[in-house]
Amino acid sequence: MKITRVEVWPLELKLSEPYTIAYETIATTTNVVLRVETDRGAVAWGCAAPDLEVTGEAVEDVLAGLREVAEPVLLGADPLRTARLLERCRRGLADRPATLAAVDLALHDLLGKVCGLPLWRVLGGYRERIRTSMTIGILPTDETVDQARRWVVHGFRALKLKGGQDPEADAERVRRVREAVGSGIALRFDANQGFTVEQTLAFVEAARTAGLELLEQPTPRSEPDLLGRVTAGVPIPVMADESLMSLRDAFRLARRDLVDMVNVKLMKVGGIAAALQINAVARAARLEVMVGCMDEMGLGIAAGLHFALARPNVRYADLDGHFDLVGDPSRDAVIVRDGWLQPTGRPGLGFDLED
């Protein structure tokens, strides 16, 4: 089997409801779609969701990387030599993780299709479904409470609140949401690097009665020691997100006991193969793992889901990046039922855009 055709194009998507985090407001996003075809007629799909702030890539960087680096490597190659092809691509895409992730997703999609199995079974098949949290951006308190109630009515049992601009106001929103949704809903808080250590400690104390399940990336990723100080100073689990961009980052965080948990996003680490390596480091260090996402079309969410289902220590999921995307052609790549995510059951990533 050989790869005979590689196609790449951008897909601009609007959000039905723009949302705000500590450092920006997002109203639209652009994913890049990768289509790979073989001489036996098999077609596989990948996608990239670049983010200048997180992955360091613009859409133009992804398009250029796929066309100038990945396409020459892939054309004429045996697509089942996944490790070899990814290693060759990595040399030219070392600073473009979302670009590499698109290649990785397409190769893994093809692997599952050749096997005739959903990818999560090929990778290990630990569980069949996983709960996802729903994210609520920075909003006035009453609007935050309204959104929280709405998601709970739709069956979601875990909510992630964004913050990082005002510790006191954030704590008030968290407390009000807890009062509104009751004790049976898991609440998570993500400051997106917006706090100092002192502000984080004050926030955690002020939000103590809300019973937060975890605290995500409160301090800047450029100063990992600050995460360690927070982890040592608060009674709830602290999770690294932006501070975890690579296998080396995972090793450093684990070796120095800087966090309790890590958020693995395929777009920031370079795809499923890299995520599996990072997950192995986390398990060795007894760090719990969440699989997260960017503003990704359903195809990217499906890839994160298959990774999560394959490994026992991926305990948490925050795979909601496609819910608000208008016109996503791969929206049905994952099935959502009462807050649970499950794959379609079809081979590979379980979805073909041409359908």
* Residue 241: active-site member: yes
Catalytic residue among 162, 170, 296, 318: 162
* Residue 2: active-site member: no
Distance, CA of 254 to CA of 195 (rounded, Å): 22
Rg (alpha carbons) of the chain, rounded to whole number: 20
Catalytic residue among 57, 109, 170, 241: 241
Token look-up 């100038």 returns: 68
Integer distance in angstroms from the first to the last C-alpha of the chain? 23
* Residue 190: active-site member: yes
Q: What is the 3-state secondary structure (H, E, C) of the chain?
A: CCEEEEEEEEEEEEEEEEEECCCCEEEEEEEEEEEEEECCCCEEEEEECCCCCCCCCCHHHHHHHHHHHHHHHHCCCCCCCHHHHHHHHHHHCCCCHHHHHHHHHHHHHHHHHHHCCEHHHHHCCCCCCEECCEEECCCCHHHHHHHHHHHHHCCCCEEEEECCCCHHHHHHHHHHHHHHHCCCCEEEEECCCCCCHHHHHHHHHHCHHHCCCEEECCCCCCCHHHHHHHHHHCCCCEEECCCCCCHHHHHHHHHCCCCCEEEEEHHHHCCHHHHHHHHHHHHHCCCEEEEECCCCCHHHHHHHHHHHHHCCCEEEECCCCCCCEECCCCHHHEEEECCEEEECCCCECCCCCCC
Catalytic residue among 51, 57, 190, 320: 190
Token look-up 């490994």 returns: 311
Catalytic residue among 216, 320, 328, 352: 216
Distance, CA of 62 to CA of 46 (rounded, Å): 12
Helix orientation angle between 82-92 and 272-284, rounded to the nearest 10 degrees: 100
Catalytic residue among 249, 265, 268, 328: 265
Report how far Cα 250 is from the mean position of its chain's Cα atoms. Answer: 16
* Residue 162: active-site member: yes
| Catalytic residue list | 162, 190, 216, 241, 265
